[in-house]
Amino acid sequence: MDPLEAHRTRYRRPASLVTIVAHFFGVLAVVLLLVWLLHYREGIDLDSDNPNRIFNVHPFLMFFGFIFVAGEAMMAYKTVGADRKVQKFIHMFLHLVAIVLGIVGLHAAFKFHDKLNITDMYSLHSWIGIGTFSLFCLQWLLGLSAFLLPGASRDTRARAAPWHISGGRALLFMAICAALTGLMQKAIILRLQNNHESRLINVLGLAILLFGVHPFLMLFGFIFMMVEAIMVYNTIPVERKVQNYVRAFLHFVAIVLGTVGFHASIKLHEKLNIASFTSLHSWIGISTISLFVFQGLYGLILFLLRGVPNEVHARAVPWHINGGRVVFYMAICAGLTGLMEKATSLQLHNRNESHLINFLGLTILLSGIFVDLSISLAHL
């Protein structure tokens, strides 16, 4: 057996398990979404005279029709037992279905806004959403021309493949950020606080986030320091042991600054007598920092302390790297949902401050995407 095939065989079982878990959270999110829209929000009907029922088409189709189907298309290479050509066709076809259903979902949002005379494209959610969908369509066209239509050379396909894969993963991450900021925006508009519906939305948001990851101090201190720690291996030209220590130190600084930022939020809630941990942002945030601390301890024990066998190191590396990516994505989502929560609660509509927040959110999102690309493409 050649080394590449041996590597694939070794990780086929863990990859299959992750695929099963991804499907579980995807189906759970669909079920929770239907319970929310049908039980709490009056149902789904694009041709209804009730604007709320028209709007409900938007979240349903943008998750089930766009994100879930796109996720299935990405996992087609693991779940479709056929030759590569058939897998490519199914991958392309499911993405096309996602685009068509996504168009209908976007139409529902614009139709709802027209009926209630609401300004379009003013929020961070809408900016991320339309940007994601536009780039997704471009990605599909580029993939179709490079990998399915005749004419592209083998060399061109080989060079395009890593960019296509990394770009697809970035777009799925952007779509999830759009979904989470949308849920956060809707929950604030409906003024849902600490009731059954708000908790349902929070669990729905966490399920969407888990499906997809097959204030200033928190954003700068926690996420920025995580960025620097993750990119250490590509930016510091010293021996690996020094890189490990620098990375561990930066992660430690991120935890300290994140803890202070977390304390500031709790202190604000106490001063204003606001209930804590009621929003989707808070649920994602506390989950992220908890997993980040666990990831840091796990990495410290395995890679810095002595006595761990090399074989254990080798087995732990891919899980540590991908676990770090997942936690990093969760931190970005926490940052974006926090911005969305604050902008919506302040009722910022089409003002300079709202535009500034939107640009800040896009900058945070793009920084996360390029960090991931720097890892994925570092050794090409």
Question: How large is the average pLDDT for residues 98-106?
Answer: 97
Decide if 57 contacts 45 (C-beta within 8 A). Answer: yes
pLDDT at site 78: 67
Confidence of residue 249 (pLDDT cuts 50, 70, 90): confident
pLDDT at site 228: 61
More confident call, 109 vs 81: 109
**Token pair for residue 166?**
């990394």
CB atoms within 10 A of CB 36: 20
Domain boundaries, the chain: 15-214, 215-380
Confidence of residue 229 (pLDDT cuts 50, 70, 90): low
Amino acid in position 317: V
Decide if 64 contacts 32 (C-beta within 8 A). Answer: no
Question: How large is the average pLDDT for residues 349-359?
Answer: 83
**pLDDT, tens digit, 9 for 90 and up, residues 122-170:** 999 999 999 999 999 999 999 999 998 888 888 989 889 888 988 898 8
Confidence of residue 225 (pLDDT cuts 50, 70, 90): low
Judge whether residue 199 has pLDDT over 70: yes
Minimal CA–CA distance to 33: which of 61, 74, 70? 61
pLDDT at site 323: 85
**pLDDT, tens digit, 9 for 90 and up, residues 267-315:** 988 998 888 888 999 999 999 999 999 998 988 888 888 888 888 888 8
pLDDT at site 214: 63
pLDDT at site 5: 45
More confident call, 327 vs 245: 327
Whether CATH 1.10.1040.10 fits 15-214: no
Task: Say whether 215-380 and 15-214 share the same fold.
Answer: yes
pLDDT at site 149: 87
pLDDT at site 7: 42
pLDDT at site 307: 80
The architecture in CATH of the region 215-380 reads Up-down Bundle (1.20)
Q: What is the mean pLDDT of the chain?
A: 85
Question: How large is the average pLDDT for residues 184-212?
Answer: 90
Minimal CA–CA distance to 210: which of 336, 92, 320, 68? 68
